[in-house]
Chains A and B, each alone.
Chain A
């Protein structure tokens, strides 16, 4: 039947629907004090998994704190934090299989860490040294790692969303029991690519989890200037997909939703949209100063919903963590990160030959000629090109 809609009810006087016609509940499992809500259905989680999740959170906090400081000292040029959104990112990645493909926006380094990205690998990328998997070509925080099924970050927003639809479809075609997960902010969800990507996924039956971190701001733009509808979740319904809204600062709620989203996506070869309601506690990036567009009071209010603290209280309640172990974890990672910074910043930059690699599968003759000319020029003025001088 063409022009099929699922709704067959008819009415005989004008009545409009508005954004409140669709009431979207928010899943909450963990309370502020670290106990769970009565009747809450917990995700599948045991002590080892909980420990890995918490470890990732602590590492991410430390990394953010140290690298922001390193940026202020001029040691790296740029940084973005995940602070305040750890539960959204770690809770979701912990619900996945290692072979599920991640397409992230840029604020999800906790997810690549969870997968096994080492402290050294983080530093090599941020310091653009010769060991950076991305060969020093992109700004700090643009991680990517094939071995960890984490596609390299691209700065243009939302481009990864329709790509995720393609990745999901390819997983299905290749008979893999895996899904794609695509992270993006509520700001990026305004881009045309978002609408194209979701619509295609729903129509083409692609097993992909669209994971929106609704953190309240896109740089300085608050959500009320970003969208007028009922958040991002209502759009999932509009495109005809399974949709859920969760408390993005609640590790267990995010996990539970993502575990079930994954199971559903796999079983039915269909997309799912998760909207995680959270807050960007830090600045947009190291180039931004949020005091120009939001109040300290507002930030302080959200500090009280700190997702890492809430999860920690749950671990302590369960007897899976002791306060003293916690302090030791932070200390261990502070030392580890600092030591890795010192090593990474001393490693040389990638060689000048890298400049023409990977443009195509092989450099064209014209590009080779450009490199030859560039090298001759650098030889003539070695002092003016310190990164490449004296190195072939």
Chain B
């Protein structure tokens, strides 16, 4: 097994998807010869030709609409949106079209063959427009799956599963981990089932839940807590829509406490949905209120990025507060 970074793992998954499905097509801004601004698609045009891996004109609306057209007619569309911040011009095509194609036509047509890959998240000195985590906008849209991997191994297995899934998937890639996250990844194809959370670390005192790039941060917080004698059960949600209520509820029934961390602003963020569901499922087991460590209710700032971030220290404080409640 080779040690590779997340970009290479994504490139691996895309290569396998293209080799095993001759209807698969990769497209987006700069993804052709250049390999994408982060190089996730590098070498694919050489391998699979310009008809199957190509640059599009600069229009996210067009990219998503084109994906809908391709997939509605039996192709596998793997579209890159250069930054998640720039997915909004495609919003209508994704939430009104990709998400509703099957339902509105009584399954006469569907666009299950689409995967939208897009780098998201901050911590890279990118300011408002290169840092957002817009997952919650999509989790509120029935008809889409939303997936966020946390490392190279997960990225390969989840991406392959997303591409082969029979539903449109928005696949958010944590860009600050693209090169930073290096790990052992099998050469061969494998899939990680969508809709399943993973218990990354077992513990008894409190459940700490996150996804994507924030997993590093909650891991660090759990280590800090361990030094204070607090045993954290750490869960990676992996798929946000549909999300794995059972795994999370089982954990919270065991520990009696829950801290949820995400980078997007607190208000309307996906943590709210989780908190509401879990307090309903686990009300009699809870020993403290479910708490959320999230971005502030402001646009993503540049200069105060460090302060804005729901970092390990803030998570550690929330864990302690929950224990002391």
Contact = CB atoms under 8 A, between A and B. Distances in A.
Nearest to B88: A156
A350 B307 CA distance: 12
A291 B59 CA distance: 24
Given A191-B89, A226-B57, A381-B313, A293 B297 contact: no
B158 to A, nearest CB: 27
A156 B304 contact: no
Interface in A64-94: 77-78
A252 B144 CA distance: 54
A355 B298 contact: yes
Interface string B293-325: 000111101111011100101100100000000
A36 interface: no
Contacts of A378: 307
A220 B57 CA distance: 11
B81 to A, nearest CB: 12
A37 interface: no
Contact of B301 (A137, A156, A192, A227): A137
B58 A352 contact: no
Interface in A133-188: 135-139, 142, 154-157, 187-188
Nearest to B59: A190
B289 interface: no
A188 B58 contact: yes
B66 interface: no
Interface residues of B, number: 41
Interface in B67-121: 85-86, 88-89
Contacts of B307: 352, 355, 374, 378, 385, 387-388
Given A155-B128, A374-B296, A225 B304 contact: no
Contacts of A137: 127-128, 299, 301-303
A54 B85 CA distance: 37
A319 interface: no
B175 to A, nearest CB: 12
B298 A356 contact: yes
19 contacts: A78-B125, A128-B302, A136-B302, A137-B301, A139-B126, A139-B302, A190-B59, A192-B59, A192-B62, A221-B32, A293-B33, A293-B34, A350-B303, A350-B304, A359-B299, A371-B296, A377-B313, A381-B313, A385-B306
Given A128-B303, A219-B30, A387-B306, 11 more contacts: A139-B125, A157-B86, A220-B32, A349-B304, A350-B303, A352-B304, A352-B307, A366-B267, A367-B298, A384-B306, A385-B306
